A and B are shown apart, each in its own frame.
Chain A
Amino acid sequence: MAVHRLSLNPSSYKTRFTQRFLRALMKINKNKNRSSTSSSFQEIRRGRRRIKIAADGSMASAVGSKRAWSRAMLYKLRTRTRHQAWVRKISTAAKRKRDVGNKPEEELSRTDDLRRLVPGGEAMDFCSLLEETAHYIKCLTTQAHVMQSIADFYST
C-alpha cells in the first residue's frame, strides 16, 4: 500500500475531482439526513440526478476554465433553466455556420452527434471540437474510475 501512496499526484485531475466529489457527496448526505428519506421513485430519481450533477460539476470545476467543455458544463449547471433557450440559439447559429462549410452529408450527422455529446460542442468548429473531445474522453474515464472505486469502497 505504501507504493500506491507514492503514486498519488496531488494536483492531478483525479485527486482534485475526488476531493470535490466527496465533499459534494457529504453535502448531499447531510441534506438527505435532514429531510425525510422517502423511497418513492421520484425521490430516487431526483437523488440520482443530484449525484450525477455533483459528479459532473465537480469534474468540470476540477478541470477549471481552461477547457471549453468544462466552461460550457459549468455554465449549463449554473443556469439550468435558461440553458435550453441558449442551446437552441447557439445551435441554430452553428448550423448556419456549418452550412457554409464543406462537410459531406453523412459526416455532418456524425459531427452533429458528437457535438451533442460533448458539452459546449454546438458552437465550435470541427478542429477544436476534436481537441475538446479528446480531453473530455480522458476526464470521463477518470470520473468513471473514481466513482467506481468510491462505490466499491462503500459497498464492501
Chain B
Amino acid sequence: MDPPSLINEGSFPSANASAYSLDGIWPFPLNSGGGVSESGGDLGLRRSPLGQNSGGFAETTRTRIRNRDVSVDESTVTENSGRKRIDAASEDESSKLVSTNSGNDLNVCNGKRIKLSGSRDKNGGLKAEMESSLSAGNKPADQSTQPSEPPKQDYIHVRARRGQATDSHSLAERVILLNPQPITSQNLNKFCILVGTVVAQARREKISERMKLLQDLVPNCNKVIGKSLVLDEIINYIQSLQRQVEFLSMKLEAVNSRMNPGIEGFPLKDFGAQTFTAGMTFSSQATREYGQGSPPEWLHMQVGGGFERAA
C-alpha cells in the first residue's frame, strides 16, 4: 500500500536523522516527542493525493531533502535578520512554488513550516508548546483524512479541540501542514495574512513576557491579573518612586545647607549596613499604599540580580 511505503522511504527525522544532518542548523531536536513523527505520518498520508504517480515520487523525496536543507538555511537566515524577512521570503518561496511542479509543493510547505517554527523559537523556546500543538492538531487530522482521503481538497477545516491552542500561530501551522494547496493569488493572499498574524502573535508573546518580568519587579503585582490593572500598578509604583526621590532630594538639600564643610568622606563601606535599617523606616512612610509588609522586598532587590536575563 502506498502510505506505509511512503513513510518508510521518506527518511523521516525519527527514522534517520543523520540523512539531514540538521543538528547544527535546526534549533531544536528533530526526534523529540512523538509530534514530529506523527506529523510525518500525516504528511505521508497526504502525499498520495499529490503525487499520483508513484514513479515520480522517489525524485520528489530526494528533492524534498534538498529543498528542506535549503529552507532550513533560510530559516536560520530569517532568524538572524528579524521578522520582516518573512514576507520577502514567502514571496520568494511562492515564486519557487510557481516554477516547480505540484510534487514539490509539499516540500516547500515543509520549508515554510520550518521557517515558522524557527521564527517562533526565537521567542524563547516555545518548542514544547509547538510540538504538542502539532501532535494534538494532527491527531484529529489523521482520523479525518484516513477514512475520507479526498483526492482533491480545497479546504481542510481545522477544528480545534478543547483546550487546544487556538491562537493564530498554531492555527497557521495546522493549516499549512494540512493544506498543501496549489498556488493561486487567493491562496497566496491567505498565506500572507497568516504570516502576518503569526508575526503579530510573536509580538504579543514578547509583550506578555515583558509584562511578566515587570510583574516580578513591582512588589504588589502578583495578585493582580489583567494587563490594564498591572499597568496601573506599574504607573503608581513609578510615580511613588519618583515622589520618593524628590522627597529625598529635599531632605538632602536641607542636610546640605546644614552640614556645609563635612561632605567629603562618605564611607562607602558603611553603605551596606545603613541601607537596611534606615530604608525600612522610611519606605514604610512614603509608600503606604504598598503595605507595610512589602517594603523589605524592595530593599533586597539587587541591581545585577534578576533583570540581566532579559537585558
Chain A residues within 8 Å of B, Cβ to Cβ = 1, 3-5, 7-9, 12-15, 18, 22, 25-26, 28-29, 32-33, 37, 44, 47-48, 51-52, 55-56, 106-107, 110-111, 113-114, 117-118, 126-127, 130-131, 133-145, 147-155
Chain B residues within 8 Å of A, Cβ to Cβ = 203, 206-207, 210-211, 213-214, 217-218, 227-228, 231-232, 234-235, 237-239, 241-242, 244-246, 248-253, 255-257, 259-260, 262-264, 266-275, 278-279, 282-283, 298-299, 301, 303-304, 307, 310-311
- Report the separation of the CA atoms of residues A138 and B126 in the bound assembly, to the nearest whole angstrom: 28
Q: A135-B311, A141-B301 are in contact. Are A29 and B263 (CB under 8 A)?
A: yes
A25 near B279 with CB under 8 A, answer no
- Report the separation of the CA atoms of residues A13 and B303 in the bound assembly, to the nearest whole angstrom: 7
The 8 closest A-B pairs by CB, nearest first: A4-B272, A130-B210, A152-B278, A147-B248, A140-B241, A52-B249, A51-B249, A5-B269
Residue of A nearest to B200 (CB): A102
A155 near B255 with CB under 8 A, answer yes
Chain B contacts for A150, CB-based, 8 A: 252, 266
Chain B contacts for A56, CB-based, 8 A: 245
Residue of A nearest to B305 (CB): A138
A52 near B271 with CB under 8 A, answer no
Q: A141-B298, A148-B279 are in contact. Are A133 and B234 (CB under 8 A)?
A: yes
A32 near B235 with CB under 8 A, answer no
Chain A contacts for B260, CB-based, 8 A: 29, 32-33
Q: A4-B272, A135-B311 are in contact. Are A127 and B257 (CB under 8 A)?
A: no
B267 CB to nearest chain A CB (Å): 8
B217 near A151 with CB under 8 A, answer no
Residue of B nearest to A106 (CB): B228
A148 near B278 with CB under 8 A, answer yes
- Report the separation of the CA atoms of residues A4 and B251 in the bound assembly, to the nearest whole angstrom: 26
B255 near A145 with CB under 8 A, answer no
A149 near B279 with CB under 8 A, answer yes
A107 near B255 with CB under 8 A, answer no
Most buried by A among B274, B283, B299: B274
16 A-B residue pairings within 8 Å (CB atoms): A12-B303, A25-B256, A29-B263, A32-B256, A51-B249, A52-B245, A133-B214, A137-B217, A140-B241, A140-B242, A145-B275, A147-B252, A148-B248, A150-B266, A153-B274, A154-B262
Chain A contacts for B283, CB-based, 8 A: 144, 148
- Report the separation of the CA atoms of residues A30 and B227 in the bound assembly, to the nearest whole angstrom: 48
Q: A12-B303, A134-B310 are in contact. List 14 more A-B contacts (CB 8 A).
A: A13-B304, A18-B268, A33-B260, A107-B227, A107-B228, A114-B238, A126-B207, A136-B238, A137-B241, A147-B245, A148-B282, A150-B266, A154-B263, A155-B255
